[in-house]
Amino acid sequence: MEPDTSSPQPTVDHNASSIILALLDAMSRDLARANVGLAKIGLYEVSISERLDRMESRRNSRAFTPDTLLSMTNPQRPSPNDILADKSPELLEFSKDLSSLEPASKIQLKFLAKEMQYISKGTEKVVHELSRSKNDRTYV
């Protein structure tokens, strides 16, 4: 009996498949190295942020020792470039802006609520009149 040659058998190029497998293997190793590198970077980032948090908490909770008390009573003199008063002297006159706060603090909430109701009712009336005038085709 002769072999059936009517259906062609696919030929496999073993050289090409071995090259593809080698490339895939190299790519997977590179990806694994990249993932390890990214994991290390993530660990470094977590470690650095934890260190910064610890430093910040230490800075905010200083013990009152003689050294720290001296540093608080004799603060370091800022450089001339860091003084805000030299750059924006108008900010030192903030007390003029505060003069309106005292009368504002004496306003009663009940009075304020009534005024807000009057304003909202007046606004509703204006909107209603405007819509009526648009419907009548007569503009004020």
Residue-wise pLDDT tens digits, 87-132: 666 666 666 666 666 676 676 777 778 888 888 898 999 999 888 8
Angle CA(133)–CA(137)–CA(140) in degrees, nearest 5? Answer: 45
Asked whether the beta carbons of 52 and 59 are under 8 A apart, the reply is no
Q: Hey, where are the domains in the chain?
A: 14-76, 103-140
Confidence bin at 14 (pLDDT 50/70/90):
low
Please tell me the pTM assigned to this model. Answer: 0.30
